[in-house]
Homo-oligomer: A and B are copies of this chain.
């Protein structure tokens, strides 16, 4: 009889991906060896290949998991029955949440996507461009409805996405700022910068 995947909602493959994400984040994708990942999992390197296909597959898993979550959430925000400003706030807060809850994965997806092999690289970049376009469209809508200042939508997208990404830096000051202060101050800083 075929064995059924462990009832637990985390297979060994998932464990490997999670450990890999942490190592990729701290040491970088190229600087992380399969032997290191294996050691973190508690196994010898070749054993990993009973569960995964290649090192690059691990990077793909991390990058596309993150990309899909962002895409899904943006769709939800777009379909909200709120004014545009509230939609944008929802998106920003989701970015902050992701940065805190899935730090390793988001960090790696942001920095190491360049090492994806084709055709995944192209796929990833297309998804990202589409995300930025939809976010810019949201801002443009806000400008038309006079909820927002007349700034270039792409500059606003760029400023927002980057500022949130900067939570990477924040990890160093963790102890001194509460998460709530951080989130609210950042959201306000970003929104007040474009509010009319």
Contacts and interface: CB of A to CB of B under 8 A. Distances in A.
Interface residues of A, dominant DSSP: helix
Contact of A189 (B28, B186, B194): B194
Interface in A86-143: 111, 114-115, 129, 132
Interface in A144-192: 151-152, 154-156, 158-159, 161-170, 172-173, 176-177, 181-182, 185-186, 188-192
Nearest to A111: B111
A177 B152 contact: yes
Given A28-B114, A185-B152, A188-B151, A166 B158 contact: yes
Interface of A: 27-28, 30-31, 111, 114-115, 129, 132, 151-152, 154-156, 158-159, 161-170, 172-173, 176-177, 181-182, 185-186, 188-194
